[in-house]
Amino acid sequence: MLIPWLLPAAILAASTPSADQGLQVPPPPAEAQITLVRAVGEAPRENAALLARLSRSYADSVDVAPDQAAARKAARQAVDLAQRAVKADPKNGQAHLALAIAYGKWTDFVDSKAKLVFSRQIRSEAERAVALDPSLDLAYHVLGRWHLHIATVNPILRLGARLTVGALPPSSIEEGARNLEKAVELSPKTILHHQYLARAYEALGKREDAARQWRTVLELPATAREDEEAKRQARAALGK
């Protein structure tokens, strides 16, 4: 998963969707998605909250799309809708969070250089979301995973990034852990937060803290599609 942004004009024109590109709903859309599509269509003007929710719906559908083409269409639609949400209300934290998530999904369909360019905007949108709405646990989660990922980028890839798109923004595993701790504080029953906080603690050599997070993963009831995989990882980490 992870991370979204606005690209420089040349890359943006080639890589991001616009309203006139004939983006389609990946079949079959979920019932909730149909309801949101109808609500957006019936709104008298651009509604940032509805657009952000619909963008998140398309982003969620990327991983369960029937094929690569459908997944790509869903990711592009998620980006388009999130961009519209931010344009409709630049001060809406959920809109910026949706844009960060949507661009993160879109990185699955771009080359390594574009991924690095996108990484700057993912961080920027997630930070903007937090600044506008400090209660968004998922925005802290995105920032936490961003730091974990960028801090552990292959040195050769990091050098390549410096030569082609400029040095990557500062990052650290410690900052990743802090953001994930905040996500856990805001939403202690979300398995995904505990899963990645455990990974951060492992990277920091805090094995007891990591084990505590993995145990929490096993104790919490699964409520999302990704939760069973998190529990499998927890069992492996704890030797169960």
CB distance 18 to 80 below 8 Å: yes
pLDDT category at 32 given cuts 50, 70, 90 is low
Which residue carries 């082609």 as its tokens?
164
| Nearest of 105, 81, 107 to residue 94 by alpha carbon | 81
Instruction: Name the more confident of 39 and 52.
Output: 52
Packed helices 137-151 and 191-203: angle between N→C axes, nearest 10 degrees: 30
Cα gap 143→134, rounded to integer Å: 13
What's the pTM?
0.79
Task: Tell the burial category of 166 from Cβ atoms under 10 Å away from its Cβ (0-12, 13-18, 19+).
Answer: exposed
63-72, 112-121, 167-176: range with highest mean pLDDT: 63-72
CATH code 1.25.40.10 region(s) in the chain: 134-240
Which residue carries 């859309």 as its tokens?
29
- What does the mean pLDDT of the chain come to? 82
3-state SS, residue 154:
coil
Q: Which fold has domain 134-240?
A: 1.25.40
DSSP string, 157-176: HHHHHHHHT-PPPP--HHHH
How do residues 105-127 score in pLDDT, each as one tens digit? 999 998 877 787 788 899 999 99
Cα gap 103→98, rounded to integer Å: 9
Half-sphere exposure of 211 (CA within 13 A, CB side): 7
